[in-house]
């Protein structure tokens, strides 16, 4: 009987997730309107947790899927013990409270007021009313930390859509190797959001395609930790001149295409190259080409190889050989749409989304030493900062400095640092102050570790380049003397 109940729970868990998300959003907005210093959350047990709960129950004669009180769990944290009663009164105006009790206080913890509330009609997604194994009540715990309220940002307003089929897009900016930070951010964001549409440019396009194929953040983390990204620079130094002259780029990056093709085929058990339309989740990636505002590859209507679309989007000019679309060269999507939020909303107005932005967390005065650097910034970033400001509540800001776009020779510590940067940005967006403080500390510790490594590597690179230039100069002088 336990196995049958677990299977039934697994089938209806999406309904519970949607209802829990609606309750979370409703609570957060309602309590914010009341100017009460608190945070609201909602969770649903996994099938494994549910199985463990069943194992603890002595009486399985009644149906635990209808009478268990822990299938949708909400929580309100208030920062003053007196506000527990205030929060309870407010909840009573929002929901029908079936029962309320104080839990026994544990050592070192404040007592918890536990409410049993009726699941409201507006929180019930499509399909709820047709099932008999959904809970009538949800549990809501109110607890005071008895500490002064920290400076909390509001909870993000975008949560799981009430309709499980409604689009919730994840939009990722380009950024070269810095895009590894997205994996760290996704480790936290996927605990709160259920994305079903992945959008990106350059590094964001690669991440979008992997997510669209069904890779989890944990699987991607393992892939990134094992991969030596210098493999993508697949041309020897003596091939650089001929590649630039005849192919307009230093590296063909065939190693990248093969790598991504094999990852997608292994994930989807495909015997041929995976095409965008084969991906189980919707994916949209952007590239650039002459004669268009942007070149879009969308798995809904684009019949292109997924690895080819990613390769087009990451064709950094003169670094990677440009691909061709209908005989015309295509380049990195960052040239026109490095942060494609506005582009997506132009084509799909009203789409709910969360975006990942690589850049400083706090405004810094631009440091410009050369005209070319100003032109490159205008060319690739344009109005990105304005877009972040316009959609700040939906944007996760990740600061991966000092790692640069083309720092493909990352050490294990540098990879872990980028993951920590992503986690820190995600937790800051989710208003998890205590967790964010711990994540910042871990990130800063890793940053202090990698700085000496990067300084040593930078000196070695410049010493090697100086040696190459000196040898080239000597060769030229010898040629002029003897020939």
For residue 483, the tally of other CB atoms under 10 A from its CB is 5
For residue 62, the tally of other CB atoms under 10 A from its CB is 10
Work out the angle between the directed axes of helices 217-226 and 181-189 (0-180°, nearest 10). 160
Task: In whole angstroms, give the CA distance from residue 386 to residue 389.
Answer: 5
Task: In whole angstroms, give the CA distance from residue 255 to residue 114.
Answer: 57
> Which residue, chain included where needed, has tokens 């009609």?
121
- Each residue's pLDDT, cut to its tens digit, for the chain (483 residues) gives 556 666 777 777 888 888 888 888 888 778 776 666 566 677 776 666 666 666 655 444 344 444 444 578 888 877 767 778 888 888 888 889 988 888 866 655 667 888 988 888 888 888 887 777 788 888 888 887 655 444 433 444 344 444 445 678 999 998 888 999 999 999 989 888 889 899 999 999 999 999 999 999 999 999 988 888 888 888 887 788 888 888 888 888 888 999 999 999 999 999 899 999 999 999 999 998 887 778 899 998 878 899 999 999 888 888 888 888 877 888 876 777 788 999 999 988 888 899 999 988 775 555 555 545 544 554 555 567 788 888 888 899 999 988 888 888 888 889 999 999 999 999 888 865 677 788 888 898 998 988 888 888 778 777 877 876 787 778 778 777 876
Task: In whole angstroms, give the CA distance from residue 52 to residue 9.
Answer: 13
| pTM for the predicted model, two decimal places | 0.63
3: left (phi over 0), alpha (psi -120 to 50) or beta: alpha
Tokens coding 131: 């099932």
Nearest to 416 by CA among 403, 428, 427, 426: 403
Give pLDDT, residue 396.
Answer: 92
Nearest to 281 by CA among 339, 213, 374: 213
Give pLDDT, residue 40.
Answer: 67
> Which residue, chain included where needed, has tokens 């190797």?
177
Task: In whole angstroms, give the CA distance from residue 38 to residue 360.
Answer: 28
Give pLDDT, residue 408.
Answer: 81
Task: In whole angstroms, give the CA distance from residue 24 to residue 158.
Answer: 10
Residue length of the chain: 483
Tokens coding 20: 């829990």
């Amino acid at each position: 009987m336990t196995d049958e109940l677990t299977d039934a729970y697994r089938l209806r868990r999406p309904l519970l997730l949607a209802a829990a998300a609606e309750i979370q959003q409703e609570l957060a907005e309602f309590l914010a309107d009341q100017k009460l210093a608190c945070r609201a959350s909602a969770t649903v047990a996994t099938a494994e947790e549910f199985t463990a709960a069943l194992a603890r129950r002595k009486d399985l004669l009644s149906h635990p899927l209808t009478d268990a009180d822990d299938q949708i769990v909400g929580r309100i944290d208030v920062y003053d013990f007196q506000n527990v009663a205030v929060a309870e009164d407010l909840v009573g105006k929002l929901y029908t409270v079936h029962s309320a009790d104080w839990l026994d206080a544990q050592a070192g913890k404040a007592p918890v007021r536990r409410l049993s509330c009726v699941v409201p009609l507006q929180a019930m997604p499509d399909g709820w009313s047709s099932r008999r194994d959904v809970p009538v009540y949800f549990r809501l715990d109110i607890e005071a930390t008895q500490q002064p309220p920290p400076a909390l940002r509001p909870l993000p307003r975008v949560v799981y859509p009430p309709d499980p089929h409604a689009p919730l897009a994840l939009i990722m900016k380009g950024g070269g190797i810095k895009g590894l930070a997205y994996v760290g951010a996704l480790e936290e964001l996927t605990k709160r959001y259920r994305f079903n549409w992945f959008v990106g440019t350059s590094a964001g396009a690669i991440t979008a395609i992997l997510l669209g194929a069904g890779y989890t953040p944990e699987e991607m983390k393992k892939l990134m930790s094992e991969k030596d990204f210098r493999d993508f620079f697949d041309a020897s130094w003596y091939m650089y001149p001929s590649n630039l002259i005849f192919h307009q780029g230093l590296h063909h990056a065939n190693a990248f295409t093969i790598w991504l093709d094999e990852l997608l085929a292994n994930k989807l058990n495909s015997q041929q190259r995976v095409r965008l339309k084969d991906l189980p989740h919707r994916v949209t990636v952007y590239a650039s080409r002459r004669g268009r505002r942007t070149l879009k590859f969308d798995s809904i209507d684009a019949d292109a190889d997924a690895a080819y679309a990613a390769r087009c989007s990451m064709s950094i000019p003169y670094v990677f050989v440009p691909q061709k679309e209908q005989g015309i060269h295509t380049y990195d999507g960052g040239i026109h749409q490095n942060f494609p939020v506005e582009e997506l909303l132009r084509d799909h107005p009203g789409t709910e989304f969360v975006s990942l932005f690589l850049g400083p967390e706090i405004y810094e005065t631009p440091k410009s030493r050369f005209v070319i650097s100003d032109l490159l910034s205008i060319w690739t970033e344009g109005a990105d900062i304005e877009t972040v400001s316009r959609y700040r509540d939906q944007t996760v800001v990740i600061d991966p400095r000092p790692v640069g776009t083309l720092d493909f020779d990352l050490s294990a510590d540098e990879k872990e640092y980028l993951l920590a940067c992503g986690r820190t940005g995600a937790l800051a967006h989710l208003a998890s102050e205590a967790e964010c403080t711990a994540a910042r500390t871990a990130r800063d510790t890793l940053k202090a570790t990698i700085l000496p490594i990067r300084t040593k590597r930078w000196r070695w690179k410049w010493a090697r380049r100086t040696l190459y230039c000196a040898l080239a100069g000597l060769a030229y002088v010898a040629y002029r003397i003897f020939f």
